[in-house]
Structure 1
């Protein structure tokens, strides 16, 4: 799919889609809970739909209504079957632990991109807890997960690559025989997502404890209770709309929790530090003005912001530095290279140097961008066109459905200009 994005004047209001981080975790917990869980404000993206399909294949009864879904958990498929997670690393990792504590032998697979992403630290930790998981050479998926259960106890986990490993064990350990004590080795990244997992488990009446330094997490076996919940808006997706307002006019984005645990709410602080007008009141963020100042930001806790921060930096004065990017090589693409390539291809002076992405501001010329099959690169390139001198053509734009399938409608509703030239 090839889409041309023209320079545009941005103005208007749009509601952020539901947080996929919350949605995927709620779906996994709903499968384990006995009874009907209702998820309101559901806006299905491919990642969330993959989690929902996995829950259905594992035995949950699913009902879809208008902007909500109901999941009747406690039902399980005792057979041998396949769970295909497409490109969703979060869903695959979380459901790997869930597969250990539910009936049936699961063959876990996904897209070629997903199968290249790391999972060995999770497999090693689950094995310590009594899981039986067969892997492909190199401890990579496809996996065969047997329903051995998890015994609980102490386990060491390397969470320096992804906090999703911790989140996965937290969800699965609600069905363990005894309390589970996770000790992190090698550091912990994206701590906010561990907080989100604990928050969701608390909704389902599970008991967890996280040490102040995040070096230990404790999960107690719990009988999860079904819930009725409205999912808050997704700051990761909203970041693209907010950046568009900062670059090319002004925008109001609703459905955003001002007290959210989502790490990517940090985009508001970056925009404010860059000289933009930023106001967060009620559930609506307002952003306008121009990007004035360059910035120095560490994305260790917010790696998904790196592509759009690169675009914002291109419109700032002076040089901006995006640090803490080492884990970006493990994303849907080698996101370090993809961000730098994207910026260079549209006329921006960008480079990876001394462990950080450096961007010299001054505006964007326009040009052709290859998405590298990475939804966040595709969306960032689309927004880059707002203040560009010439259009930006994004090749491989179809990957955007992974996180934000309604982006084109939302973007054009606030003045964005997009033309699909090759479906």
Structure 2
């Protein structure tokens, strides 16, 4: 177990934001389904991205890694090289690939670790039941074995569940013989993630008709075509760096796409609504030290921002209310419980609601020991407000950041962070 002791200091500097995990998952899958060779550049090989790469290899795709990219020799039809696919803790890997595995007519078993084992998959089970497609799980949990052939046709999916289910179907349905339609039966949340999927599919020559996010019309017998793709910077990770700069002495984030479709680009508007001073210059975003205010934050379209925004709100003036955030309870941790618990441990005033948080800001927090809940976003959110603590901030199980941002602690030090660390129960 890794502990980080962060001695409170104000941070500043310039940093290149790591590549978008959401963008990279989609690019690797589309490249693997393409005829020909694709090159994907600007990749950080986090645990989640490694999981998707390994899974695609087990489905017959030839992937060669170089320093910060991949050469992918795609196949328009997957084949099972290894029937057990280990998704580690990556929800994207699992939910994106289940429908693809169900196009093969061969037995494929999905395994996972941590909270992924119990994260819900009911939308897929409902589809499998309606199509009489054979599957087996362990009381609704992983491992999940799929053995059958997905059929083209009409798919009804709720829009207030994870968008990953819809994206998974969008990857798979163009490969089927007949045409299909996805009908969204409730208001669609996380629309930007669907936009990212549709945009990536278009880059690899797959055409989907989007009928105002109520229906998606998918022609069958389509062919993915290879291309070169450069992964853009990740606004999800930039959110932590921007918060550090707001509470510190300013930070300039490089490598972001001003026209990005990423859901978490919403961080810029939300920070501005809280009073942050932000300057955008092409692919660079600079924040200045700012006195932030409480606000109301609707998390329905950008749930991954909640931990860092809750942390910032805890040291902002006034009250912040985060609403429409119930889905955070089924992430890598119950993020509403996790972030409220850990912030309150260090002196914050956070009230947990069924689908959100009420945060009454304070000028300073006291610091002390916290736990990451084995959740990368909880660890980074806590670190991002360490400069507002009066005593050192201790984060237990701090290496969970490897899931999405392996260089986080290195970058934290580069910006002036003062960190001590120790390990318990590890051999070197």
TM (normalized to structure 2)? 0.94
> In 2, Cα distance between the equivalents of 1:257 and 1:408?
24
Mapping of 1:161-240 within 5 angstroms?
Answer: 161-212=161-212, 214-221=213-220, 222-240=222-240
Q: Unmatched 5+ residue regions in structure 1? A: none
Mapping of 1:379-398 within 5 angstroms?
Answer: 379-398=380-399
Mapping of 1:314-329 within 5 angstroms?
Answer: 314-329=314-329
Give yes or no for the alignment of 1:100 onto 2:99.
no
Q: Cα deviations across residues 260-296 of structure 1 (Å, max 9, x unaligned)?
A: 1111111111211222210111101101122331111
> In 2, Cα distance between the equivalents of 1:55 and 1:112?
21
- How far apart are residue 91 of structure 1 and its match? 0.7
- How far apart are residue 79 of structure 1 and its match? 5.1
- How far apart are residue 131 of structure 1 and its match? 4.1
8 Å Cα contact 1:347/1:367 also seen in 2: no
Give yes or no for the alignment of 1:121 onto 2:123.
yes
Q: Unmatched 5+ residue regions in structure 2? A: none
SS of aligned partner of 2:350: strand
Give yes or no for the alignment of 1:41 onto 2:42.
yes
Q: 1:266 maps to what in 2?
A: 266
- How far apart are residue 209 of structure 1 and its match? 1.7
Q: 1:83 maps to what in 2?
A: 85
> In 2, Cα distance between the equivalents of 1:385 and 1:40?
33
Q: 2:352 maps to what in 1?
A: 352
SS of aligned partner of 1:34: strand
Q: 1:7 maps to what in 2?
A: 8
Q: 1:111 maps to what in 2?
A: 113
Q: Cα deviations across residues 316-361 of structure 1 (Å, max 9, x unaligned)?
A: 1111111111111111111111111011011101111474301111
8 Å Cα contact 2:317/2:361 also seen in 1: yes
> In 2, Cα distance between the equivalents of 1:359 and 1:336?
12
Give yes or no for the alignment of 1:141 onto 2:138.
no
Q: 1:305 maps to what in 2?
A: 305
Counterparts in 2 of 1:103 and 1:54: CA distance versus 1, 3 Å: farther
> In 2, Cα distance between the equivalents of 1:161 and 1:320?
25
Q: 1:415 maps to what in 2?
A: 416
8 Å Cα contact 2:33/2:78 also seen in 1: no
Q: What is the total number of aligned residue pairs between the two structures? A: 420
- How far apart are residue 247 of structure 1 and its match? 0.8
Mapping of 1:15-34 within 5 angstroms?
Answer: 15-34=16-35
8 Å Cα contact 1:291/1:312 also seen in 2: no
Q: 1:132 maps to what in 2?
A: 134
- How far apart are residue 414 of structure 1 and its match? 1.3
